[in-house]
Amino acid sequence: MVPPAVAWVDDLVQKMIDFETKKSVHINLTRATHSEFRKVLFDYSLSMQEVFEMFASLVGENDASAMSIINEAYRLKRERMVKRVTKQEAKNLYDVISEIDPFQG
């Protein structure tokens, strides 16, 4: 059995190591996403911290399932960017056309 004083020192050392090595992350989720995510995790007795830590670790290990999620997120982001650029280009084109006077020149 580990003497209580040694266990306390080990715990203190571990807390110091964690403080020095852990990074804090802040994310924003919609209320609906947060609520549904929380419900599912509650059913499994998991915290968001535990799930995000595991996911990040799997991504770091290049796990196929985790990387599939990363690739899907990238694909969706790229689609949103293309749509945004396309809409802006169409608006710019209409603006230019509306400024042209066909009877001038």
* 53-87 residue pLDDT tens: 999 999 999 999 999 999 999 999 999 888 877 77
Do 45 and 77 share a structural domain? no
Contacts of the segment 33-39: beta carbons below 8 A, 24+ positions apart: none
| Residue range(s) defining the domain that contains residue 80 | 64-105
70 domain-assigned:
yes
The total of structural domains in the chain comes to: 2
CA distance 10 to 83: 54
Supply the pTM of this predicted model: 0.63
Per-residue pLDDT of 79-97, as tens digits, reads 988 887 777 777 777 777 7
Q: Are residues 79 and 101 in the same domain?
A: yes
